[in-house]
Amino acid sequence: MQRKLALSSLIKVGICAIFAAVAVAQAHAADVDGNWTWSRPGRNGNPDVKVTLKLKADGEKLTGKLSQPGRNGDVTERDIEEGKIKGDDVSFSVSVERNGNKVTTKYNGKLSGDSIKGKIESERGGTTTSRDWEAKREK
């Protein structure tokens, strides 16, 4: 009888520890929600282009929209795809169709306070290019 009682108490303590660990992890989850901006070089020597990213996390799922001026100056807005946040790691992709071809750009970064720093990778003509990016949260 005492063994069953001890085992039952041990199981309850274990379950409480698991719930506490989950609560602590959620309390310390990185806060990625908000509007983020950065600049990228303009084409053919034109001025830099401001890029805006709106992010919203739901657990480890990340949703949002990326917007920037297009070639004719009109702002284009695209949904992010495959968005994830795990700890301070942020990743998502954005796709666009050009001349019947789907071009996907992948974003990966580390969240630190009001900054996301990482790499942007895109493939064009079978060649993958990579560049640094750093977004700042708008206050």
Q: Spell out the residues 6+ positions from residue 120 whose beta carbon is closer than 8 angstroms to its own.
A: 105, 106, 107, 130, 131, 132, 133
Share of the chain above pLDDT 70, in %: 79
Half-sphere CA count of 134, side-chain side, radius 13 A: 5
CA 84 to chain centre: 5
Domain ranges of the chain: 1-30, 34-137
Which comes out higher in pLDDT, residue 16 or 3?
Answer: 3
Task: Report yes or no: 49 and 39 within 8 Å, Cβ to Cβ.
Answer: yes
Amino acid at 139: K
CA 121 to chain centre: 14
Q: Does 76 have pLDDT greater than 60?
A: yes
**Fold of the 34-137 domain:** Lipocalin (2.40.128)
Q: Does 95 have pLDDT greater than 80?
A: yes
CA 91 to chain centre: 4
Q: pTM value?
A: 0.73
